[in-house]
Structure 1
Amino acid sequence: MKLPFSKKEKQIKSKKEKKVKVRTIGKRKKSVLFLWILLISSLAFGIYKNFTAIDQHTIHEREIIETKIMDTNAIESFTRNFVKDYYTWENETEALEERTKKLTNYLTEELQALNVDMVRDDIPTSSTVQGINIWSLTEEKENTFSVIYSVQQKITEEKDSTLTSSTYRIVLYQDDQENLVITQNPTLWNQPEKSSFTPEQVESNGTVESETVEEVTVFLEAFFTSYPTATEQELAYYVKNNALPTIEKDYIFSELINPVFQEQDNQIKAWVTVKYLNETTKATQLSQYELILEKDSNWMIVE
């Protein structure tokens, strides 16, 4: 039979049954709250940047140079025809009137009026064009071109004749239909002269042995002897890669003049002047070649 608990026993049992408190770090703790705020802020900032960021790419700029091919045939032909008519005259009224009429095909109305007194009715000379040289053709601006040319004239006065040569510059306009008109009168100019440039002289540098020099010399003498009259099939025995064209002319080989040889990358580079006699003109022809040779079973010109 169980006896009722005494008051003291009840207190002891109550203490035993009382749960032990467990200390936890809750969401309200300041440090944890700070971490949550930091995490949320970082996430929000990342989303914001994702929507607002501007993509950055490395831009590689490439300059494209377009080559403009200009057909100058029309301008050159127009200029030659003008020069012939402009610098040709006779000291006769009818011929001078015909010249004035021809010039209307080239000059603006203003220039036609300007040139009325160029050749007077009482001019004592006659002129014929002997030759025309066009030195340059330049596009000054869109549809406007300048041409520099020389004209050789035979001037006759009574029974005396003299040759004269002068250089001029004119300006032409070409419209969308490619029609041409001269907008600036022939103006005295200067023509190109001989340049003072002297190319560097090539010399043998001792890289080719004397035995090889003799072999190559014999080969070139044999080749250039047959070269002028050689057909394409015959040329194939001496030349690769169409390094030299067929000539098929009546030239007689005379000699090689001062050939120079250098060894480059197991090949022989040769600079040679070839002396020929032209059977037709009976004049001497001196042809200069810069060749590259190599040896397989025999010597060949490869470039």
Structure 2
Amino acid sequence: MAKSLAKRKAEADAPRQEKVSAMEQSKRFFRVLQKPKVEERKAYRPRGYRTRKFGTIVFWIMFSFVFLVFFFSTLNPSKQEEVSAGAVEQTPTLNPATTTTAVQYAENFAKEYFTWKPGSEALAKRQKRLAPYLAEGIDPHAGLEPTSLKTTSVLLSSEIANIEEKGDNKAYVTLKVYQKIGIPKEVVTTDEKTKKETTTTKYESKEVSKFFVVPVAYAQNYGIYDLPKYTYINPQTTVVATNQTTGLQDVVESEVKQNIRNFLDTFFGSYAADPADKLAYLLEDEDHPSGLNKRMNFVNVKNSQVYQSETLETYIVFATVVLEDPVSEDRFVTNYRLDIKQKDGRYVVSKIDQQ
């Protein structure tokens, strides 16, 4: 049957389908499968991003560690307290009974202690003065027997002689006290008209010294915790004078000795009289930049010893110098150690009295 005119026209207008073999279809199919993938674009990272990220990680690790330490320490506080207590025990503490304040307290007590007169009224006043110092239960007269008292007493002065610790807050403060005692003496006088004899008591003064031990304690405030005691301390010192020349080598050259000896006269003359700015030409010791500032006059160098120092042009000199008080003209002998060096063809003192 013949096709209609419309169908024939439609077929003519439609694109003709390309005839493709089976082999070509297979190739096209595999080409689709092997289509290259689009490369993924990496995310943008600003400069320093990795460093900041690493720092953040380290921060949180450290924070976690601190948190864990705190957490476990709160669960077991006894160990931490033991460590803290051990640290406190290792810290040395000063005994308050050995301080200058305690010494002053002992001296104040000694002043009241050694002030007395015979008679009930005078002794009652003394007892009242001592009361603030004495601990409860101690004799209110602090050991003085009032019934047999006949003398008068005044404390002239006192000086510290020794301090001996007797615990964490106690000490024996030993004072050397200088006391003026009034010793009673009966004097009989006769009236020339009536021939009547009158007996009066006069006090002869006598100055004495003794070593007085004051038991001082501290518990929120100072106090005398026991009766005072007496002792004796040998005034002769046991300190041995040191020989500063031990191990030093004597300078052999007589010319050097004489030059330094002449320099000593110049130096000590300037040291006694010149101001610091002028003295600086001869003295370079930063610890002792000033001299005597005319408080003493230089008389002469009594003797000197010159020793070689570390180098050939440095010397250690021991000089015995005579000084004079400008007002009284009294003279005094004293010793100096000088470290002397040559500088720009002259001598200067680099150190004075260096030990």
What is the TM-score normalised by the length of structure 2? 0.60
Tell whether 2:291 aligns with 1:249: no
Which residues of 2 match residues 1-303 of structure 1 at below 5 A? 72-113=99-140, 115=141, 118-120=144-146, 123-157=149-183, 158-175=202-219, 177=220, 179-195=221-237, 197-200=240-243, 202=245, 205-244=249-288, 245-266=290-311, 267-297=314-344, 298-303=346-351
Q: Give 2:343's aligned amino acid.
A: D
Deviation, 1:167, is: 0.5
Per-residue CA deviations over 1:166-218 (Å, capped at 9, x if unaligned) read: 1122221112x3x1011122212122422353543748854242111112111
After alignment, is 90-99 or 211-220 more displaced? 90-99
Structure 2 letter corresponding to 1:190 = Y
CA 1:210–1:68: 2 relative to 1, 3 Å: farther
Name stretches of at least 5 consecutive residues in structure 1 with no aligned partner: 1-64
Q: Is the 8 A contact 1:208 1:261 kept in 2?
A: no
Secondary structure of the residue aligned to 2:225 is strand
Query: Are the equivalent residues in 1 in contact too, given 2:95–2:170 (CA < 8 A)?
Result: no
The alignment partner of 1:111 has SS state of coil
Letter in 1 for 2:229: T
One-letter amino acid of the counterpart of residue 200, structure 1: N
Post-superposition Cα deviations, 1:140-167, rounded to whole Å, max 9, x if no partner, equal 3211122111111011122311111111
Contact 1:130 1:154 (C-alpha < 8 Å) held by counterparts:
yes
The answer on whether the counterparts of 1:92 and 1:121 sit within 8 Å (CA) in structure 2 is: no
Q: Is the 8 A contact 2:170 2:218 kept in 1?
A: yes
**Aligned-residue offset at 1:138:** 3.4
Question: Using a 3 Å threshold, how does the CA distance of structure 1 residues 242 and 117 change in structure 2: closer, same or farther?
Answer: closer
CA 1:68–1:289 in structure 2 vs 1: closer, same or farther (change >3 Å)? farther
Quick one: distance in 1 between partners of 2:166 and 2:292? 41
Alignment partners' CA distance in 2, 1:302 and 1:69: 39
Secondary structure (helix, strand or coil) at the match of 1:223 reads helix
Q: Show structure 2 runs of 5+ residues with no match.
A: 1-89, 184-201
| CA-CA distance at 1:136 after TM superposition | 1.9
Q: Displacement of 1:295 after TM fit?
A: 0.9
Q: 1:94 to 1:246 in 2, by over 3 A?
A: farther
Tell me the alpha carbon deviations over residues 194-243 of structure 1, each in whole angstroms, 9 at most, x when there is no partner. Answer: 23535437488542421111121111111111212322212211111324
Letter in 2 for 1:160: E
Closer, same or farther: CA 171–248 of 1 in aligned 2, 3 Å: same
Counterpart contact for 2:142–2:227, Cα < 8 Å:
no
Letter aligned with residue 287 of structure 1: T
The answer (yes or no) to whether the contact 2:172–2:214 under 8 Å persists in 1 is yes
**Residues 234-287 of structure 1: per-residue CA shift (max 9 Å, x gap):** 221111132434322332211112211100112210111110111223211212
Pairwise CA RMSD of aligned residues? 2.5
The SS at the match of 1:222 is: helix
Q: Is this contact kept in 1: 2:106–2:216, CA < 8 A?
A: no
Structure 1 residues 186, 77: closer, same or farther in 2, change over 3 A? same
Residue deviations 1:113-138 (CA, integer Å, cap 9, x gap): 4x366152563211111120111223
Aligned residues: 236
Report the Cα offset of residue 85 of structure 1: 0.6
Give the SS at the match of 2:139. Answer: helix
Q: Deviations over 1:60-98 (max 9, x none)?
A: xxxxx9776677221011011001110111234333211
TM-score, normalised on structure 1? 0.70
